[in-house]
Each structure stands twice: as structure tokens, then as C-alpha cells.
Chain A
Amino acid sequence: GESVGLHLPTLSVQEGDNSIINCAYSNSASDYFIWYKQESGKGPQFIIDIRSNMDKRQGQRVTVLLNKTVKHLSLQIAATQPGDSAVYFCAERAGANNLFFGTGTRLTVIP
């Protein structure tokens, strides 16, 4: 079955530094990926998505990279701010419209 896993459960960065959060997926049929941010007590918040026909997509301060060869997804956050502190999930879609979520990485920004 599908599985989505994250390499690091926690990540601490200094304010102003760049953050990189990684995600591995196992289903080569997955064609769509989303990164979500979840703050304590809140629902997942959409950050950025990417389709499998792309390698890179940029948003405001965020970039998602997709490497289909090694089934790896990463989220880069530029100039990390204290408000970026949260748990970050990657999620994949394989055929149907439901999403399979990873276990999450907790990002802590040190002021």
C-alpha cells in the first residue's frame, strides 16, 4: 500500500535561516503532492502543491521540490520566521482524490 514518511521528526532553525523539510513516499503512482502546515489546535493549512509532471514549484517564501526518481519531496522555507513554527505534513494522492499524509515534522524557529 501507499506510505508517506518523513525523515526527521523535529527540526530547529534560527530565525532568518532557511529550512528544508523532507518527505519520502513509496507509491510511484502518486501524481499530486501537497504540503500542509498545522499549528497547535488547528486544522492543516494548505501551503503549496505540485503535480508529478513538475520538478519544482515556488510560492511566497516556499519552494517544493519533487524528485520522482528517488520518490522524494522537500519543502524549503526561506528566511524562516517564528510564525513558521508548526508541524509540517506532506500528503500524496495516488489515483483517487483522497490524500495520504505523512507523520509530520515539527519545525521550531529559534528567535
Chain B
Amino acid sequence: EPEVTQTPSHQVTQMGQEVILRCVPISNHLYFYWYRQILGQKVEFLVSFYNNEISEKSEIFDDQFSVERPDGSNFTLKIRSTKLEDSAMYFCASSPLLEQYFGPGTRLTVT
């Protein structure tokens, strides 16, 4: 069964550094998403991406965040200058239309 995959599983970075989180969505899906989950809290929407552009973004997704689909398979989330409060699990998801399938997540730790 096809799955969304994410790398790395755990990323440790220093405050102010740039990080890139990588995702490979399910191959025939058209919609791609990033969510985050701070420890012990609920999953929060960051951004959705369709037809090679951002279709919606939340207030969390400020100028420090960007997404890219550099080729036909990868979908990346970049945080330009990380802050301590960016520490969270970051989940990528993809969907053919409605039902969203999530990857295993990348745990980002900012020190």
C-alpha cells in the first residue's frame, strides 16, 4: 500500500539556522499539505499546495516558511531562521481529493 514518507525522522538544529524537511507524497495524489504538532497539543494546519502553488496557508505559516515541489516526487518545507518555538513534529500529508494521508513525521528540535 502506498505511503507518504518523510525524511529525516529527527532533525536537531540551532536557533537561527535554516532547515529543510522533506516529503514524498503518494504518487497519484494532487494535493499536498504540511501540518505541525507541538508536543501534547493538537495537529495544526500550516499550508496546502496544489497545481504547483500554495492554495491556502495559516497564520503560523509566515515569511520564515516556504514550500517547494522541486521535482515530480518531493515536497519540501523550509524554515529559514528557526526559533525555539518551531520545535514540533512536522507532518506532511497528501490527498487525491478529500481524504488526507499523513506521513510518519519529522521531529524538529531547535536548541
Q: Once bound together, how far apart are the Cα atoms of A66 and B3, in whole Å? A: 28
Q: Interface residues of A toward B: which range?
A: 20 to 34
What is the interface of chain B mostly: helix, strand, loop, or mixed? strand
Count of B residues near A, CB < 8 Å?
24
Cβ contact within 8 Å between B44 and A96? no
Within 55-95 of A, Cβ neighbours of B (below 8 Å) are at 89, 91, 93
Nearest Cβ distance between residue B13 and chain A, in whole angstroms?
20
In the complex, 24 of the A-B residue pairs with CB atoms within 8 angstroms, ordered by the A residue number, are A32-B98, A42-B104, A43-B91, A43-B102, A43-B104, A45-B102, A46-B99, A46-B100, A46-B101, A46-B102, A49-B99, A89-B42, A93-B98, A96-B56, A97-B98, A98-B33, A99-B35, A99-B43, A99-B100, A100-B45, A101-B35, A101-B43, A103-B41, A104-B42
